[in-house]
């Protein structure tokens, strides 16, 4: 009998409706899994067992009355701690918000709750979502379940680790430069960043407003589609929310890739990609061709500049978004003689080094005399990146590449060298600049037993095509490995 914590979201939904077990049983199993794994992983910052069991109770009562609130009813889901949860501490991984209890729920949280999902708790992240390893959390790193001396990726490392071991059946993360896809790749999961605007950012603590998107983590493509469908759609409270029809997400999951045109991004297949990662991806390109797709190489020349443009645009937007954390209305306050002094001391003490670095960088890039050369120029490069994607999509249906240039690196390996850390995003960043949807699917393990992720990118609002190819990649890869930590047997530390 499968441990309930190892069920997929879809299988769990079937089991609940067949009355094989209750939502309470499922939540208890997930809580037990968390109890066993958390001392090894530190995936969660807040895990409220009572609240989770109460939510399971609500779902069970509804099932008993024959009410069906959707595929997430009774399903334990974890939420990255940069999405507000009313009445539950929300820290953004920062000391400046330690103890902060939001007075409102993020739209995505409201949607989970209205569908009677069981919110397990809030997961660890790089502070303000700035990072690629979850080592920038003010509350300590999260560890990779496949090797606890290694990082789970970031910034949504906690969400990834929780789903990878089964202390949640699915999770929400956020992706600004790759922060869903890269941890998904490093933790052997499916992780998807939707088209910009498809999921509401209301209640997502903003990092870079023109890049941030919320998306799902899951162990299967179908689960990820289910979770994305549950939270996607127009929201009047987010001025950047897409006002057209919500794109179809899951109708092509079984369509296969025969006749599709798939483009391998040339610039992401050269030097700089770990040989085992490159080999695994090449194997998948060939498998897709054997499955009937027309696979060619495609060049996105401006993507060589994407990382540089991102490290001007994102910090610039962050410097504006983080100006509100000033000790006045919420969060940490360090006293000063004047308000200006109070604000400056509060921020210097409350923000970690990576956040300070990016605020300084962004402030500089936007300051008088430098705006045009840095931020202004980066926005033009962004246009060229988008143009390259648009041109490519005139000839192919989706683009593919590795998700991350490497598998999981060691904790502490890159923390002294910000530039080497930024390089982790090199494959994912262009999709954020373009605003197009992109996802990672696990395709194998390297010789050290570490997961390798395969990235599928689609044109804006073409989530259905993305999931179609992702589902085929999943079928072809046959990736079923789980980390040893995905167990409810107590493991000695």
Instruction: Check binding of 282 to other proteins (CB under 8 A).
Output: no
- Residues 312 and 437: their CA atoms lie apart, in Å, by 22
Catalytic residues: 80, 155, 179
Taking CB under 8 A as the rule, does residue 276 contact other proteins? no
Told to check if 388 binds other proteins by CB under 8 A, we report yes
Task: Return the residue of 338, 447, 480, 492 that touches other proteins, per CB under 8 A.
Answer: 338
Q: How far is the CB of 226 from other proteins (least distance, A)?
A: 25
Residues 81-120, interacting with other proteins (CB under 8 A): 100-101, 103-104
Residue among 105, 326, 397, 463 that touches other proteins (CB under 8 A): 326
Q: Residue 294 CB, nearest distance to other proteins (Å)?
A: 21
Nearer to other proteins, 325 or 479 (CB): 325
Q: Which of 74, 113, 153 is nearest to 421 (CA)?
A: 153
Indicate whether 395 belongs to the interface with other proteins (CB under 8 A).
no
Site for other proteins contains 263 (CB under 8 A): no
Handedness of CA 259, 265, 266, 269 (dihedral sign): negative
How many chain residues bind other proteins (CB under 8 A)? 90
**Contacts of other proteins in 401-460 (CB under 8 A):** 418-420, 422-423, 426, 433-436, 460
Residue 372: CB partners within 8 Å, gap ≥ 6? none
Residue 333, interface with other proteins (CB under 8 A)?
Answer: yes
**490 contacts other proteins (rule: CB under 8 A):** no
User: Quick check: 344 binds other proteins (CB under 8 A)?
Assistant: yes
In the set 44, 285, 351, 479, which binds other proteins (CB under 8 A)?
351
Which residues in the 174-213 window bind other proteins by CB under 8 A?
A: 196-197, 210
- For 63, residues 6+ apart whose C-beta sits below 8 A from its C-beta are 16, 17, 19, 22, 23, 73, 74
Say whether residue 139 binds other proteins (CB under 8 A). Answer: no
Closest CA to 439 of 465, 407, 414: 465
> Residue with structure tokens 């794109």?
247
- Cα gap 94→128, rounded to integer Å: 7
CB of 186 to other proteins, least distance (A): 18
Question: Is 360 a residue that touches other proteins (CB under 8 A)?
Answer: yes
Of 27 and 94, CB closest to other proteins: 94
Give the pairing type, strands 170-175 and 213-218. Answer: antiparallel
Q: Is 21 in the site for other proteins (CB under 8 A)?
A: no
Cα distance between residue 42 and residue 490, in whole Å: 16
- φ, ψ at 232 (rounded to 5°): -75, 160
Between residues 54 and 236, which has the closer beta carbon with respect to other proteins?
236
CB-based burial label for 306 (10 Å; 0-12, 13-18, 19+): buried
47: β partners: 121
**ω before 148 within 30° of 0 (cis)?**
no
Closest contact distance (angstroms) between CB of 291 and other proteins is 29
């Amino acid at each position: 009998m499968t441990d309930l914590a190892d069920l997929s979201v879809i299988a769990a939904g079937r089991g609940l409706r067949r009355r094989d077990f209750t939502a309470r049983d499922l939540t208890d199993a997930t809580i037990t899994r968390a109890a066993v794994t958390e001392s090894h992983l530190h995936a969660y910052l807040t895990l409220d067992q009572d609240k989770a069991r109460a939510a399971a109770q609500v779902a069970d009562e509804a099932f008993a009355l024959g009410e069906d609130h959707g595929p997430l009813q009774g399903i334990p889901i974890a939420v990255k701690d940069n999405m507000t949860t009313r009445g539950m501490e929300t820290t953004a991984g920062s000391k400046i918000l330690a103890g902060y209890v939001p007075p409102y729920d993020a739209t995505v949280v409201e949607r989970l709750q209205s569908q009677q999902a069981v919110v397990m708790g809030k997961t660890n992240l790089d502070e303000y979502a700035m990072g690629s390893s979850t080592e920038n959390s003010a509350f300590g790193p999260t560890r990779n379940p496949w090797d606890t001396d290694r990082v789970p990726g970031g910034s949504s490392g906690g969400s990834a680790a929780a789903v990878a071991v089964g202390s949640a059946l699915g999770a929400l993360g956020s992706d600004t430069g790759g922060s869903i896809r890269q941890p998904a790749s490093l933790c052997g999961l499916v992780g998807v960043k939707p088209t910009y605007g498809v999921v509401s950012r209301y209640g997502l603590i903003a990092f870079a407003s023109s890049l941030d998107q919320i998306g799902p983590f899951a162990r299967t493509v179908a689960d990820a589609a289910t979770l994305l469908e549950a939270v996607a759609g127009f929201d009047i409270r987010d001025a950047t929310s897409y006002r057209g029809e919500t794109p179809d997400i899951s109708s092509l999951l079984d369509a296969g890739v025969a006749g599709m045109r798939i483009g391998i991004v040339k610039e992401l297949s050269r030097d700089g990609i770990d040989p085992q990662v490159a080999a695994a991806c090449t194997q998948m390109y060939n498998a897709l061709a054997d499955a009937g797709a027309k696979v060619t190489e495609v060049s996105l020349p401006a993507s060589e500049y994407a990382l540089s443009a991102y490290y001007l645009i994102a910090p610039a937007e962050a410097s504006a978004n983080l100006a509100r954390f000033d000790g006045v209305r919420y969060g940490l306050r360090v006293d000063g003689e004047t308000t200006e002094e109070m604000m400056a001391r509060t921020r210097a003490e409350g923000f970690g080094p990576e956040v300070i670095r990016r605020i300084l960088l962004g402030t500089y890039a936007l300051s008088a005399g430098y705006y045009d050369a840095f931020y202004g120029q980066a926005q033009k490069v962004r246009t060229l990146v988008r143009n390259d994607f648009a041109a490519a999509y005139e000839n192919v249906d989706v683009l593919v590449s590795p998700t991350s240039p490497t598998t999981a690196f060691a904790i502490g390996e890159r923390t002294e060298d910000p530039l080497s850390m930024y390089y982790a995003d090199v494959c994912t960043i262009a999709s954020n600049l373009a605003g197009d949807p992109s996802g990672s699917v696990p395709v194998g393990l390297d010789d050290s037993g570490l997961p390798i992720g395969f990235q599928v990118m689609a044109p804006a609002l073409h989530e259905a095509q993305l999931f179609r190819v992702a589902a085929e990649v999943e079928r072809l890869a046959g990736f079923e490995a789980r980390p040893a930590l995905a167990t409810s047997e107590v493991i000695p530390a």
